[in-house]
Every structure is written in structure tokens, then in C-alpha cells.
A and B are shown apart, each in its own frame.
Chain A
Amino acid sequence: MIRDDLLRLESEAHRRLSEVRSPAELDEVRRAYLGKKGSVTQMLKGLASVAPEDRPAAGQAINDLKNRVSAEADAVMLRLETEAERIRLEAERLDVTLPGRGPAPGRRHPLTKIMDEIKGIFMGLGFQIAEGPEVETDYYNFEALNMPSDHPARDTQDSFYISDNVLLRTHTSPVQIRYMEAGKPSFRAIMPGRTYRRDAVTSRHSPIFHQVEGLVIDRNVTFTDLKGTLTAFSQRMFGQDTRMRFRPDFFPFTEPSAEIAISCFVCKGKGCRLCSGSGWLEILGAGMVHPRVIANAGHDPEEWQGFAFGMGVERIALLKYGIDDIRYFFENDLRFLKQL
């Protein structure tokens, strides 16, 4: 008899639970079976009227039923909660195509980025970084660099003068002298900085620009070291497949002197607009430091020798970013600065 009642009760509970649509309804059903006055609870109370020998089995059966209904109710609760959460989250749906908002990170100036890249490569090659004044004496800017007054090489470095003897440095080379004067060999340093020449502002020239100078002095530093160092630099800066062209040039402060070109990284040397059809891009001047320069800086050129080099930062930035007008670097137009 009890068995039948249990079966009926279970199927009824199952049916009602399956029809539940809300937590309130679930509560009602749960109470109707499992509550103090619920059917299952009532059956447990009715055990007293069952024959003592049948009681354990009946009790067990009712308890099993209670557990099953309770478990099913829990499952229904989970279903309801999941559904409710789904609906709630659905209602919170965003338009993910709206733009993100927040402050944009600022950018380093393109010249700073190039400068940082150059510094990084040379630091990896064991170079220190040195600096010197932008307003210089004629001695450091010219004389000590083996460029006495009346030297025609001064023609290419038209200068802004403060007085007869003081000018805005036309290159970073005077830092070489100051650096060597201040220390004992050996030296291995780059000297980045701002330089000035009395050139009108055009798309190709700026009266204010930047250079990175380099200096390596030791007992046995050679021309092949110059070549190897600048090749390593250029390939790191412009790509491992960069080819190099070293050719003689003239700088009063180096002997031998070299002008260094890299294979054009746009056309790979075939000739294009960037390299004016030559396949080569001139990026560096270099040479073995002139013995008079070493002596001027207070060291014995028979004991110490080495190389120096210089490059224009704007030139490299123009090439690397494909910029066609040097003026952009100094106009600080945000439409330019925010691009690079």
C-alpha cells in the first residue's frame, strides 16, 4: 500500500516540479512535499501506524523519496537561477562596437625614439654615453679638431656666432675633445646632442638638428674595427641584410676618413626614389682619429689610436619613417607627433 502511495506521490512531485516557473512556485512545491505539513513529511509521521516489522523498510523508502524530491527541487532551483542570470546578463548587454575610452598613452618624439635606438645598439657594444655644451668655443668646435681658422672645410659648417670666439656647435665632435681631456684612455663612448648650422629652414635642412658622435680609442683599435663596428650598428638599425659601402671622404679630424652608405632598404640596392636611384643611402661619416686631435686632447698619438664617427639623427629618422620634410620634427604638430 505504502509503495503505491510513494510511487504516486513521486510522480506527482516530479510533474509539479517540472512545471515550476519561478523560485516562489518552487518554494510552494517544496513546502507541499517536504515542508512541515508536506505530504512526504506527513508520510514519515504516519510511520507509527505501520507494522513494526515493516517500519524500517517503509522508513527507508520514504527517506529515499524525500531525498530524491529534494535533489530534484535543488536541480530545478539551479535551472531557475541559471535562467534568471542569463536573462539578467542579457539585459546588461553592451554595444561592444562603441569605442574604448580613456586617456591615450603619450608618445616619445620620433627623434627621441631614433636616438634611443641608436643608444641601445651602442650600449650593447660597450659604449658609454657622454654629453657636452651646445654653446662652444671656437677652440673645441674647430681648432682642436684640426680645423684652424681659414680652413676651407669650415665653409660647409656655416656657424651661428655669439662672439668672435664663441659659437653654437656645428657638430657633436667637440665633445670628443672634452671627453678625452677629462679622462684616461681607453675610451668608448657615443655623444648624442643638438647641433646648429646657419642654414635656412627648408624641407631638407634645419638650422637646428641632432647628431650622434662616436669615439673608440685604445692601443690597437683599427680601421677594420671601425668597419666592423659600424657594420654591426647599421645591420642592427636597418636590418641584417643591409650591405655597406665605405668610401674615402675628407674630415680634418680623421685620417683616413670614410663616408659610409648602406644599401637602400626600400629597393635593396636596385635604385628607387628614396636613394635617388643610386641604391645607396649615405648615413655616416667616420675615420681614424687624426693624431693631432688625440694630441690636442692631451694623449700620445703614438700610444693611443682609434676611430670616430658621426651621424645625423634627423637623416636616419627621415629614412626610417619615410618622412619627406625635416620641418615636421620641430613643428610639433600633433597630427604628426601622434602618428609615429
Chain B
Amino acid sequence: MKAPLMWLSDLVRIDIEPAELADKLTMAGLEVGKVETGEWGAVFDAEITSNRGDCLSMLGLAREISALLDTEIKQPLSEVTDGEDKGWARVEVRDYDLCPRYAARVVDGIKIASSPEWVQNRLIAAGMRPINNVVDATNYVMLELGQPLHAFDYTELNEGRIIVRRAEPGEVMISIDGMERELDPQMLVIADAEQPVAVAGVMGGAESEVSDKTETILLESAIFKPGSVRRTSKRLGLSTEASYRFERGVDPDGVRRALDRVTALILEMIPGAVVRDTADIYPQPVLPQRITLRGSKVNSLLGSDLSLPVMASLLRRLHFGVIENDDSLEVTVPTYRRDVSIEVDLVEEIARLYGYNNFEDTLPGGLCLPGGKNRKQLFEDLVRDVLTGCSLDEAVCFSLTDKSFPDRLLLPPGDDLRRTVEISNPLTEDLAVMRTTLADGLLSVVKRNLSVKENDVAVFELGRVFLAIEGKDLPEEKSMVGIAVRGNLWQNRWNVPSEVVTADFYQLKWMVEKLLAACGLEDVCFAAEATPWLHPGRSAVVTAGGRKLGYIGEVHPRAAAAYDISGPAYLAELDFDLLAEAGRLERFYCSVPRFPAVERDMALLVSEEVTSAEVDGIIREMAGELIERVVFFDLYRGSQLPEGMKSLAYSIYYRSPERTLTDEEVNAVQERITTALEERLSAQLRR
């Protein structure tokens, strides 16, 4: 809200520099962004928080200034008396619930012209456009006192009547901006005997608008319920100076004063104007609220040591009525301070006038637990540690995406991940649904980087996905950890063989294995199983203890194409919540071996269908307790081998915690293994 210093100075004596005043206002909660100085002198641009509707006027700001500077306020008062002739202002309020007070006055003998220069200048300085003398007068008084006013052309009102009522279904009205407004029964309107002539508290109608020919006007000064005005204004998509003020609350006690003030201004501007009569429907006058303020409450909340007289004096400066008791104050709240209704509201008033920065800085006392992270948060740290240790950079993607992501990910109809949570009022189509997987975001990260020629992408994300649950308001929120890799994993790789550094399935698997091991997961299994957006022959499902953790694999060429990704890219995604639940942060010591291990290598010729897991399983099963580790070290396919066969080579480490193993017992185990492999997998030992 713009407030010219010249206008404020009418209402309160200001004997400090504008910049200093701006700072004082800011520090009292009325943020003055800047002070403009120009044609109209200094103009303050104050940002009024939504609780301080009472400050949306020169008078309101002047009251604050008077409190800050501890000076008197000069109230703008005008007295107007009605004429002899009655029965002009005929007002009927049907919906009191939305209109607690409605005052109207008819003024005759109007001659529409421009308003005097001083009025125009003030309006312009305050950021409003002069229109004509009557409209300018209503705007002038609104700016001065904060009471929105409206002037109707009285002769355009059917039967000269005003009826305040809810709109009827299907009613329409052309507002003064020329737009046809469709009204509904939730909106309050000002109607004449036949039709709406204004949307209450929002905008007047074009038909009854004051025009050059207007000779008689009906001035409206009323109070409309903030919530109702706000709903109507939102529904019509129409916010005006009036609606802005009504939404934030207007002083019901100031209605008559504003009406008198605007009348007096019109009488001053138009010599021939005559007041006819006035209506003021105010069935339940609002009385000033009284609040008991305990001194102990003030000091207990603020951590201060203020005396009752100090509190009382601060409140009086803010124009509260105060009676001092032994240990409390009886405070009378002016009706314009609609934001003050309970004790703590007064505590804030005291604190802000005393100055926040004048209070001490202390730290909370009392018992306090050691601060810390819970189990899940510790796992979050662990995941980030391990994955950054695997050379992955952390990405943070939007959790909103477009509706077609399930199609890009080749999800079949009815797939679980199509249970998206949809935004009913999206801002743009690309932020219209919540993600159900991290895959879409991570592939978009690859896409984006490829588009700027960053061809080597290795990223992870730890974030939530959202799955709608039928019959429930709130969706399921799961945290997932996802990895995407493509291209070279090492930036500096001169003379390093490319298979060492190029992202592939096994590089990604190594990262996932490291992660699962670090999280203390046991019984981890990678089983060939397809995921819609992964290569069916190059993807696996990861389980731990039989529970599905997620997937890993090469991106399906069609899915890759949907993200403009050329060349193979690899994705993994694990259920973080499950990882944290099944994982283990505790570590236990196991004695360092005292006896040497025996290492045996074994190369096996097996058919292509045989998996390493099968071989590994048989080795472990046959070796029993003596086995320490089985390390796969070579895969060979080639012309030396029979068609459809491959060679798998393992190092097997045997160790006993109690003695040095003999060749004989290890040989016996090796023999058992070989026999089992031959029998069950038709494997041949390569010698």
C-alpha cells in the first residue's frame, strides 16, 4: 500500500526523516520496501500482512506511526446532517450473516465533474487513477479511512431500493469493467427491486454506475463478511481495492464515519449538492472486545521482565484501552483491531512495540535428549556415502511429471505403477502427476545431460514416489533409491581398457552389491526377471531374504529411445524403506583367521543355460563348513569351446578356524564338488 508522507502528515505529526520512519515501520511489522521521492514528496510503499487490514489506510498507518513516535493522532472527522425529506434511502438487508452492517445515504443535486486538483494529486500519489468527483471522493475516503465505498446512480435503481441478498441461480450482471458476471447463490449481491446492481464488496454494476448525467447518488458504506467476499472474489477471478480490504476485515464502527466523511467531501466539491436521508442497518453492533492480560503470561512467553506499567503504556500508545489491576491488565481492543482477540495477540503487540531486538538471546533450558537421527535417517546417510563412493553424483528430480511417463516406460495397462496421484489443478502439463518410480526422472537426467554433450552420466537419487490407494485420501509414499549410469564411469581414464570403465550391467551390479552389503543385507539374490522398461535378457530382480527390493538392468531400447538416449544405459531402483527395515547398522566382530586358507581354482565347461548362481550354489552346498569364499574370476566363450558352451572359472578358498587344512581333505571336498557339478549340471572340469 502506497502512503504519501504529505497525506500521513495530515493525521499525525512526523518529525523524523522518511528513511528513519520507514525503518521504524519495518521493524514494527509493516515492511516498507522502499521510499519513493518524486513529484508528490516521499511515498512509502508498505507491505501490509494479511492480519493487519486496519493498516490499509492512511489513518491506519498514522495510528501505527503515532504509537511508534508516541505522538497524538488527528482524527479526520466530518459531521453531516440529513435533510427534512425522508424515505429516499430504502435499504433492506435479507442476509445479515454476510452483511452485518449496511449504511446508505442519498445525495441530490450532484453535478459530475473532475475533482479538485488536491484530491486528484493525492489519489495519484497513492497509486489510484482519478475518474470524477464522486468516484474520487469515495476512493479518497477509502484510502484515508480504509472503508470501501460505492456510489450508485440513484435513478438507475429500480424503485430506488437497495436489497442485500444472495444471488439467485442464473443471475448475471455486467460489472463496471464491462464484463458479464455469472452469479451464484453463494455470492452476496446488492440488488435493486429487480436485479443485482453490485457484487457485494467486490464491484459495482455498469447499469447503476455514476455517469456524466447522474444527478442523484446513493452512497454505500457497509461491512461484508471477509470469507464471503473472498470466496466470491476468487470465484469471479476479480480482486479489487474493495474486496482486498473486506477480505482482511473492515472496522464496523467506522462505517458511519466514512459515510459522513465522503458526504462532506462531496458537499465541499459540489456546491449545489443536498443530503436527503440516511439508512443504517446495524442490528447487532460490534462492541469492543475486552481481554484480560496477565503480566506473568507476557513475561513467561517473552522471557522478559517487563513491569505492568510498562506493558500498559505500550498498549496505550497502540490505542488500546487499559485498566491496571494487581497482576493483570484489562484491555479494551478497538473494533478496527480485528487481529487482536486473545491474550497472546496482546503479547505480540507489546513485543513489537518494545522492539524484538531489545529482547535478550537465551537458549532453552530444561531436560533435553541428545539430538540425533533415527534409523531411517542413518540409512539415508549410509546410502549417500556408499553411492557417492561409487562415483555417483546425487540428483534431485521433481516429484511431479507428465501423464505420459508410464507410456515412455512401456508400462502395460493396469500396471501397479500406473496408480498415479493426479494434480487436479496442474500449472503445466509436464507437472501433472506424481511419480510412481524414480526411473522417469533419472532417465530424464540422462537425456538432459546428453543434450548438452555430457555423455558420461552416473547419478543416483534418493526420493519419494507416490502410489494412489483406492478408497484412501492419502497415497502411499515410499522412499526409493535409484541409480542411472551411461558411458564412461571414470573421467580420467587414459590408457585404461574401455571395458574397465564403461558402464555395463556388471558395473551397476557392483554398485548395488556394495550398497546392499554396506546396509548389512543378507541373503541377497539377483534373479533374471524382466521389468517393463528394461531389456528382458539383461535385467534382474533383487531380493533380500525373499523380499523384493527392486530391479537392475539395461534400459529397454524402446524406453531409451523415448528419452532420446543413444547407446546402452543402465538403471537400478531399490525400495529404500525396505532396505532400511531389513538392513543392519550394527557390526559384530568375527575373529581374524589364525590358520592359513587353501585356495583352489576350478574352471568348468558348462552349457550356456547354466547360471553362475547354480554353480556357486552347488560349490557351497558340497563344500560345507570348510568353505570361506567362492570368487568368480573368468568367463570365456570362444572357438576352442564346443558350440553352446562356456567356461566359468572360480577360486575357492577353504579354511578352518581350528587347524591348518590338509591337501587330502581339501581334495576330497573338491572331488565332491566336481562330481556334483558333473551330475547336476553336466559340467566338465577343464584341466
Q: Are A218 and B396 in contact (CB under 8 A)?
A: no
Asked if A165 is an interface residue, CB under 8 A from chain B, the answer is yes
List 5 other contacts, CB 8 Å, given A105-B389, A333-B452: A104-B491, A152-B248, A222-B362, A224-B304, A227-B362
Closest residue of A by beta carbon distance from B473 = A166
- Which of A7-15, A23-31, A35-43, A243-251 forms part of the interface with chain B? A243-251
Give every chain B residue within 8 A of A248 (Cβ-Cβ). 27-29, 348, 351-352, 356
With a 10 A CB-CB cut-off, give which of B52, B347, B348, B458 has the most chain A CB atoms.
B348
Q: Are B390 and A223 in contact (CB under 8 A)?
A: no
Q: Mark A166-206, 1 if CB is under 8 A from B, else 0.
A: 10100000000000000000101000001010111000000
Asked if A133 is an interface residue, CB under 8 A from chain B, the answer is yes
Give every chain A residue within 8 A of B426 (Cβ-Cβ). 160
Asked if A240 is an interface residue, CB under 8 A from chain B, the answer is no
- Which of B363-371, B559-567, B678-686 forms part of the interface with chain A? B363-371
Known: A153-B50, A166-B473, A248-B348. A224 touches B464 (CB 8 A): no
Find B344's partner among A111, A156, A288 (CB 8 Å cutoff).
A288
Asked if B300 is an interface residue, CB under 8 A from chain A, the answer is yes
Find B452's partner among A101, A104, A160, A335 (CB 8 Å cutoff).
A335
- Can you pick out 26 interface pairs between chain A and chain B where the beta carbons lie within 8 Å of each other? A98-B494, A105-B388, A106-B460, A107-B388, A107-B394, A108-B388, A126-B371, A129-B372, A150-B227, A153-B50, A162-B423, A163-B473, A188-B368, A196-B400, A207-B427, A220-B366, A222-B302, A223-B301, A247-B27, A247-B29, A248-B352, A256-B302, A259-B31, A291-B344, A330-B397, A333-B454
Q: Mark A84-122, 1 if CB is under 8 A from B, else 0.
A: 000000000000001111111111110110000001001
Determine the distance from Cα of A338 to Cα of B228 in the docked complex, in whole angstroms.
Answer: 52
Asked if B377 is an interface residue, CB under 8 A from chain A, the answer is yes
Q: Are A227 and B395 in contact (CB under 8 A)?
A: no
Find A124's partner among B367, B371, B428, B445 (CB 8 Å cutoff).
B371
Asked if A219 is an interface residue, CB under 8 A from chain B, the answer is yes
- Which of A56-64, A68-76, A228-236, A266-274 forms part of the interface with chain B? A228-236
Interface of A is mostly: mixed
Give every chain A residue within 8 A of B370 (Cβ-Cβ). 126
Give every chain A residue within 8 A of B369 (Cβ-Cβ). 126, 128, 188
With a 10 A CB-CB cut-off, give which of A101, A306, A329 has the most chain B CB atoms.
A101
Cβ < 8 Å to A, chain B residues 409-465: 421-428, 431, 434, 445, 448-449, 452, 454, 457-460, 464
Q: Are A258 and B431 in contact (CB under 8 A)?
A: no
Assign chain A's interface to a size class.
35 or more
Count of chain A to chain B residue pairs whose CB atoms are closer than 8 Å in the complex? 261
How far does the Cβ of B380 sit from chain A's closest Cβ, in whole Å? 9
Could you tell me how many residues of chain B have their Cβ less than 8 Å away from some Cβ of chain A? 96
Closest residue of A by beta carbon distance from B366 = A218
Asked if A308 is an interface residue, CB under 8 A from chain B, the answer is no
Closest residue of A by beta carbon distance from B423 = A160
Closest residue of A by beta carbon distance from B225 = A150
Determine the distance from Cα of A229 to Cα of B300 in the docked complex, in whole angstroms.
Answer: 17
Q: Are B396 and A106 in contact (CB under 8 A)?
A: no
Give every chain B residue within 8 A of A249 (Cβ-Cβ). 29, 49
Asked if B226 is an interface residue, CB under 8 A from chain A, the answer is yes
Find B477's partner among A125, A133, A149, A218 (CB 8 Å cutoff).
A133
How far does the Cβ of B224 sit from chain A's closest Cβ, in whole Å? 12
How far does the Cβ of A87 sit from chain B's closest Cβ, in whole Å? 26
